[in-house]
Amino acid sequence: MNAFSEVWFYNQNWKPHEFQEQTWKAIAKGKSGLLNAPTGYGKTLAVWFGVLDHYYNNSKYQKKKNNKLHALWITPLRALSKEILLATQKISDNLDLDYKIELRTGDTTTSQRQKQRKKPPQALITTPESVHLLMASKGHREYFEQLEFIVIDEWHELMGSKRGVLVELAIAHIKKINPNLKIWGISATIGNIEEAKDILTRDPQSVLVRSKIQKKLSIQTIFPDDLEKYPWTGHLGIKLIDKVVPLIYENNTTLIFTNTRFQSEIWYQKILEYDPDLSGQIALHHGSLSDELRIWVEDMLHQGVLKAVICTSSLDLGVDFRSVDCVVQIGSPKGIARFLQRAGRSGHSPGALSKIYFLPTHSLEIVEGASLKYAVKEGLIEKRLPFIRSFDLLIQFMMTLAVSDGFKAQELYEEILQTHCFESVSTDEFNQCLMLITQGGTSLYAYDEFHKVVVEDDVFKVTSRRIAMQHRLSIGAIVSDMMMRVKFKGGKYLGSVEEFFISKLNEGDVFWFTGRPLKIMHIKNNEVVVQPTNEKAGTIPSWQGGRFPITSDYGKSIRHMFLEIKKKDRYKSEELIYLDPLFKLQDERSYVPEEDELLVEYCKTKYGYHLFVYPYEGKLVHEGMAAIIAFRISQKQKISFTIACNDYGFELLSEDDFKIDEDLLQQLFSPDNIVQDVQSGVNVREMARRLFRDIASISGLIFTGYPGRNMKTKHLQANSGLFFSVFEENEPSNLLYRQAYDEVFDFQLEIQRMQLAFQRISTHKIKFKALEKLSPFSFPIFSESFRTRYSNEDWQSRLDKIKKALDID
């Protein structure tokens, strides 16, 4: 222990954990490292007291004229930034320290930012984007020259995204300014924790501090009263609302997690319809609500005023709400780590129980309750795949340095080679990036607007104030469709919805947002002016960003359940016992596969000829697999297919009969020539063209607009599509063009995971079953195709009619 931690822990009547003492010792020795410990056991204290001890035991910081930044604490969420600020300020106040801590995020006022530049605090809590904005200002090297610590909170969350690349670049740059910089990360458990440490610190002498504490966890599945009446497909779970409301009353505060903002809006509305007495006691929280509304909800959670909050991933990360003692997960969490992260929001104190309820949204999803318990017991946890060779961010970073004090090419090249993301970049590739910012590259050389950077005395710099302003407005790695600001006539801002949703509505139409019905008064530019209404009927916004598949480890845990199904009841989980009637029906109509078997079903209905396959690899992988199988069949006979997928499997539907047997299936699922067949069977070009919009925006190839005057999504797509076509025809070696294809294969098609799936299946026995009618396993996939078909009936009503017509019940 150091002097500050000793006094603090004594005053709190606490005893430090072993991992905290290990962290303090490592920091005192000047080490960098990564800390991994359960939620609620004081990870922040473990790093923070090490930072304080360094400051007060270093004479240069005790000089009164030393007004330099000492520590930078980076978090992925503004809510978490505020939480860290409160926790660290409490320590300074209680110990009467003159160590000043401030917050800098997108909410920080311009005047406050200017004060922080002129007279920085000792510690600044911020986000990756705000750090890059600081580096885009004049004199940033002097600003960071005595920075001793960069702490990355929730590093596991950042590492698997392009925001993690922003962190890598910032660390490499600041480390060049001050080689004594110490890097510390705080991370939840992930499958590649050692790699996470190495990517962050880039120091072979860095340490990994892992807690031995096992967090107490309770996982319970919520069961419907009658399995036969519970739907075979769906994604909302509203039919179990009568099971959720009692949990709200039984606990102090409950967080109800949904996977999408659309779901959260519906659940909030339906809970109040079911129990109006909860009005004023529950709230809604997701990323499209205004900062004012979200901050209010967070404050109410801190005060323990609310009984429940319906939320999305906006409350996933380590914010400490002491009143929360219960979590409900609506539908599949899609991943083990995500489920554990959400469970950790309850019992957020040492020794407390984290309690989470899993609410399945359809019958077959009940299996996931058992698979989650198995995954936790076996310690299955996903890896986070880091981004590499993200040239859009490298070009953005070059512009960031060019609008500040400029940079020299060789120095910057040596700097970026120190990052994991860009360690393989060749001199030629680096020079191509320089060409893009100075001359527009090979294809855009004739256009002056792409000559953004000039070279003076070997220094690359931006001299145009317009270009500098546009770049500062574009810094970041998050790209979304154009957002429309929703506000009352009086001016109060409620939040944002996507342009594609509003484009379908007219003045006078009603939609539900922020948990209430709103009538559109008028739409102008990127603003939707609304007024409250008593009309209950209205559509609910959906957002494009909520689509994510199950992870590979999660799929593995689901497949393992097929081994458990065959066991005697006394060895089964309660979920599998409950589902026994469904599995018996599946066995009657088709087959229940073993863990090392692949089930393939073939069936004729009035809609055509259906082939169902169940790899349990996630929706994105299934889309690629379905396209490959369809292509391979088409090589044997002329045929067209419609493809439908979910996380459990995929369907090929044709108007024409096609011959399928086990010998042919063995050929169709061969692991050979996967990449070639993907390129032949999947419209990779169209996927890359759409993805190129994000790459073009991040790299600054296209400017998305000034605040309040953002470019419409369709115009953004059209402009980026034009550049894509130019590079395709004239410069196919263009780095940004090539990056679009790389990201399609790595992150959309998940080509490596798909190859592993085909290899796994090649070792399995294929069980082929010809059906007389659809099976319980097939119906959820079959129903996916009806989501996109026009009808004035709701989706569930249409499915009920289809089940009756096909005699599926």
Joined together, the tokens standing for residue 516 give: 């209430």
Nearest to 62 by CA among 98, 90, 91: 98
Beta bridge mates, 519: 510, 531
Q: Is the separation of the CB atoms in 650 and 625 below 8 Å?
A: yes
Q: For residues 534 and 273, give the distance between their C-alpha atoms in angstroms, rounded to a whole number.
A: 14
- Residue 62: its pLDDT value, please? 62
Q: In the chain, what are the domain boundaries?
A: 3-210, 216-378, 483-532, 579-809
Nearest to 311 by CA among 300, 327, 332, 291: 327
CA angle 586, 587, 591 (to 5 degrees): 95
Tell me if domain 3-210 and domain 216-378 are identical in fold.
yes
Q: For residues 675 and 365, give the distance between their C-alpha atoms in angstroms, rounded to a whole number.
A: 32
Residue-wise pLDDT for 531-579, tens only, equals 888 887 777 776 655 567 899 999 999 999 999 887 777 678 999 999 9
Secondary structure of residue 452 in the 3-state scheme: coil
- Residue 511: its pLDDT value, please? 83
Joined together, the tokens standing for residue 143 give: 């600003």
- Residue 792: its pLDDT value, please? 41
Q: Is the separation of the CB atoms in 91 and 44 below 8 Å?
A: no
Write down the architecture of domain 216-378 according to CATH.
3-Layer(aba) Sandwich (3.40)
R_g of the chain computed on alpha carbons: 28
Start-to-end C-alpha separation, the chain: 66
Q: Is the pTM of this model over 0.75?
A: yes
| 476 Rama sector, left if φ>0, alpha if ψ -120 to 50, beta otherwise | left
Q: For residues 528 and 543, give the distance between their C-alpha atoms in angstroms, rounded to a whole number.
A: 16
Q: Is the torsion defined by CA of 405, 410, 412, 415 positive or negative? A: negative
Residue-wise pLDDT for 234-283, tens only, equals 778 999 999 999 999 999 999 999 988 889 999 999 999 999 999 999 99
| Structural element, H or E, at residue 650 | strand 650-654
Nearest to 357 by CA among 327, 332, 389: 327
Residues of the chain with pLDDT under 70: 1, 59-66, 318, 480-482, 500, 525, 542-547, 570, 707-718, 786-809
Return phi, psi of residue 212, to 5°.
Answer: -95, 0
Q: Which residue, chain included where needed, has tokens 């940033």?
A: 140
Class assignment of domain 3-210?
A: alpha beta
Exposure b/e, 114-150, CB count within 10 A at least 16 = b: eebeeebbbbbbbbbbbbbbbbbeeebbebbebbbbb
| 379 Rama sector, left if φ>0, alpha if ψ -120 to 50, beta otherwise | left
